[in-house]
A = this chain, B = another copy of it.
Amino acid sequence: MTDNNKRELTPFQEKWHTIIFEANTPAGRAFDIILLVAILISVVIVMMESVMPLQEKFGRLFHILEWVFTIIFSLEYLFRVWCSYRPKAYITSFYGLVDLLCILPTYVEAFYGGAHFLLTIRILRLMRIFRIFKLVPFLNESKQLSLALQQSKRKIFVFLFFIGLLTVVLGAIMYVIESEHNSGFTSIPVSVYWAVVTLTTVGYGDIAPITPLGQAFSALIMIMGYAIIAVPTGIVTVEMSRIRSREDVDRRVCPHCMREGHDANADFCKYCGNKL
């Protein structure tokens, strides 16, 4: 993509651009690995901070480490802006916003305080890992997976929409059956929640039918859910199988029109009609 809007970078900026935004140089790869480790450690700290006994014991250490990582990520953010070809585009991009969102909470907490839950936003740092994977070529597999999911997206959407309607109707029916005898089914939304818990075979048991009719109807819903799970499985399996078999396709290139994609049993090019 040729793009006239991109600004000129000094050779020094360009060198850093390669290191930070790309992964095909040793330095770029090293940068990604260091960033990955920093993200993982900082996320583990965020998680441990929420555990009361650990917070009481190591609270001070967590606090210091948190600031260390926040400063590291802040510097990284400024560096990305500085050596980007289109700084504005980076700042307003999805990953640019995530990058900002991952450092802001610490500053906001420091100035205003009390924003306990705000700090949890920092867990979104995990999403930054996906960018690293996008760059690193070693995970070719994830492409295939996401391709299969993308191609079955529409079918899965229709399926989930149908599941949504179904659970509302099933929940309402169970509300009528159970609500007078059971303290669990207090309203239709709660019954719909129960229907989802049951149909997906999660089955917490926090709400469970107690009337014979309710139990019989629940059993029907469960068996339905047991059979319905076949649908998304079928959708994804078929798409994956297609992607996989496309890979298998003969790698022969037509010597005349240079195009690929011939079947294994083809003798002539299907595009130009010449002998393969």
- Copy total for this chain: 4
Tell me if A83 counts as interface (CB < 8 A to partner B).
no
For A248, give the chain B residue with the smallest CB separation: B242
Q: Which of A47, A163, A199 has the most CB of B within 10 A?
A: A47
Q: Is the CB–CB distance between A270 and B274 below 8 Å?
A: no
Of the residues B127, B142, B169, B205, contact of A204 by C-beta under 8 Å: B205
Q: Is the CB–CB distance between A160 and B223 below 8 Å?
A: yes
Question: Main SS of the interface on chain A?
Answer: helix
Given contacts A123-B169, A231-B149, contact A193 B216 (CB under 8 A): yes
Q: Is the CB–CB distance between A270 and B261 below 8 Å?
A: no
Q: Which of A202, A208, A229, A272 has the most CB of B within 10 A?
A: A202
- Chain A count of residues within 8 A CB distance of the other chain: 100
Tell me if A1 counts as interface (CB < 8 A to partner B).
no
User: Cα distance A157–B240 when bound, in Å?
Assistant: 16
Of the residues B169, B200, B274, contact of A201 by C-beta under 8 Å: B200
Residues of B within 8 A of A268 (CB): 268-273
Q: Binary interface profile of A, 121-139, with partner B (CB < 8 Å = 1, else 0)?
A: 0011011011000000001
Q: Binary interface profile of A, 163-188, with partner B (CB < 8 Å = 1, else 0)?
A: 11101110011011000000000111
Residues of B within 8 A of A241 (CB): 234, 237-238, 241
Rank and list the top 4 A-B pairs by shortest CB-CB distance, nearest first.
Answer: A268-B273, A266-B270, A202-B203, A204-B205
Q: List 5 A-B contacts (CB under 8 A).
A: A120-B175, A163-B226, A201-B202, A237-B238, A268-B268
* A residues whose Cβ falls under 8 Å from a Cβ of B: 43, 46-48, 50-52, 117, 120, 123-124, 126-127, 129-130, 139, 141-142, 144-145, 148-149, 154-160, 162-165, 167-169, 172-173, 175-176, 186-190, 192-193, 196-206, 208, 212, 215-216, 218-219, 222-223, 225-227, 229-242, 244, 259, 261-275
- Other than the given A230-B232, A230-B233, A238-B244, 8 more pairs (CB < 8 A) read A200-B201, A201-B203, A205-B206, A234-B239, A234-B241, A259-B265, A266-B270, A268-B271
